[in-house]
A and B are shown apart, each in its own frame.
Chain A
Amino acid sequence: MPHDTSDPQQPPHSHLPSDPSLRVKALETILTRKGLIDPAALDEIIDTYENRIGPQNGARVVARAWADAAFRTALLEDADPVLAQMGFNGRQGEHVVVVENTPERHNMVVCTLCSCYPWPLLGIPPGWYKSDAYRARAVREPRKVLSEFGVALPEGTAVRVWDSTAEVRYLVLPMRPAGTDHWSEDQLMRLVSRDSMIGTALARRPDTGGVAGQEGAE
């Protein structure tokens, strides 16, 4: 039973964690005692996803594709070996497909089943990507969802929605903003937001130079 930690009659004891938190601890203890898990490996996984993997990986890929035509061609043809060479392998053996935005077609990624996502390139998905609202509406009314993210596409641009699975994850290659002809890969990276690689934003404009909050502006 939960204990009332605010009761002044009780001696001060350690703050009792939430019910799910205690259930996770219980599972972890049982599995550790059975030798099925290594607590150090759990810490390593958490550290990796909290500190070492994130949208900066995907932004590196996008910036290189913008700067290097041969790299871009190889990436669009078969992303897996290209990403493996950069050290961005999927831990679950999934394939990554890179889909390119053009003036004719804007790409947007969802996982209608759950929340499949290119972890090695973008890290852990944001809450909204996992929400029922996004998962249900991205397919049904993508333009409306895009407009709520502040993205207004020209009428002639079609929207293609890609539904991720356990086996295939998608990364959107946004269109390179104009006025960035002589920019280095590092400079270009600053224009690539997480959302632009999910397709719920456009790349940042060079005049906003990587200032957060400008993605999605037309």
Chain B
Amino acid sequence: MEDPSHRPDPVFDSPWHAQVFALVVHLNERGLFTWPDWVARFSSALRQAGLSQALNGGDDYFAVWLDTLEQVMLEQGLAGVEDLTDMKRAWERAYVQTPHGDPVHLEDPS
């Protein structure tokens, strides 16, 4: 194992890691789930993910964090699979339709 203490680590490697981390912390603080519940769900998902490949603690770690959050939101009836797919497509369209350099905005909800 390489000694990583010789270089400064960025806190989050990608902006989406920070976003999904903050979402979970915020939803916990808003009382949508307790922290021990989150840890139980997340660690179980992490164990499942680690069965098929060795996780390096970077992108793959936060991918499990995101999968778990989506699953919890689905179970609580707050965001269904279709809602998520539709909203993701809406964001894709917004990016594709926005000229490079302009701020990307989602079309207004119909």
Decide whether A and B assemble into one complex. yes
Chain A residues with CB under 8 Å of chain B are 3, 11-18, 20-31, 33-34, 36-38, 41-43, 45-46, 49-50, 54, 91-94, 113-116, 123-124, 126-134, 137, 145, 148-150, 165-167, 193-195, 200-201, 212-213, 215-216
Which of B9, B19, B109 is close to A28, meaning CB atoms less than 8 Å apart?
B19
A-B contact pairs, 8 of them (CB 8 A): A20-B59, A20-B63, A30-B78, A31-B23, A45-B22, A92-B25, A124-B11, A165-B39
Q: What 9 A-B pairs come out closest when comparing CB atoms? A: A130-B57, A131-B57, A26-B87, A166-B39, A113-B43, A92-B35, A21-B16, A45-B22, A114-B43
Bitwise interface map of B from 86 to 110 toward A, beta carbon under 8 Å scored 1, else 0 = 0110111001111111101010010
Nearest B-chain residue to A19, judged by Cβ: B88
B50 touches A14 (CB 8 A): no
Give the chain A neighbours of B57 by CB distance below 8 A. Answer: 115, 126-132, 134
Given known pairs A26-B88, A26-B91, A37-B26, the reply for A149 and B3 (CB within 8 Å) is yes
Nearest B-chain residue to A212, judged by Cβ: B6
Given contacts A49-B12, A50-B11, 5 further A-B contacts (CB under 8 A): A21-B15, A25-B19, A42-B22, A127-B4, A129-B57
Which of B1, B11, B23 is close to A134, meaning CB atoms less than 8 Å apart?
B1
Given known pairs A132-B50, A166-B40, the reply for A16 and B20 (CB within 8 Å) is no
Nearest B-chain residue to A200, judged by Cβ: B5
Given known pairs A23-B84, A36-B27, A45-B25, the reply for A13 and B4 (CB within 8 Å) is no
A213 touches B6 (CB 8 A): yes
Which of A30, A92, A129, A130 is close to B84, meaning CB atoms less than 8 Å apart?
A30
Give the chain A neighbours of B32 by CB distance below 8 A. Answer: 36
**In the complex, how many angstroms separate the beta carbon of B108 from the nearest chain A beta carbon?**
11
Q: Which of B10-47 contact A (CB under 8 A)?
A: 11-16, 18-23, 25-30, 32, 35-36, 38-40, 42-43, 46-47
Which of A20, A22, A24, A37 is close to B30, meaning CB atoms less than 8 Å apart?
A37
A24 touches B104 (CB 8 A): no
Give the chain A neighbours of B13 by CB distance below 8 A. Answer: 127
Give the chain A neighbours of B101 by CB distance below 8 A. Answer: 14
Give the chain B neighbours of A145 by CB distance below 8 A. Answer: 1
B16 touches A17 (CB 8 A): yes
**In the complex, how many angstroms separate the beta carbon of B104 from the nearest chain A beta carbon?**
5
Give the chain A neighbours of B92 by CB distance below 8 A. Answer: 3, 16, 22
Q: How far is the CA of A115 from the CA of B38 in the complex (A)?
A: 12
A194 touches B23 (CB 8 A): no
Which of A13, A20, A201 is close to B95, meaning CB atoms less than 8 Å apart?
A13
Which of B9, B14, B23, B55 is close to A21, meaning CB atoms less than 8 Å apart?
B14
Q: How far is the CA of A184 from the CA of B6 in the complex (A)?
A: 25
Give the chain B neighbours of A24 by CB distance below 8 A. Answer: 16, 19-20, 23, 66
Give the chain B neighbours of A25 by CB distance below 8 A. Answer: 19, 87-88, 91
Give the chain B neighbours of A21 by CB distance below 8 A. Answer: 14-16, 19
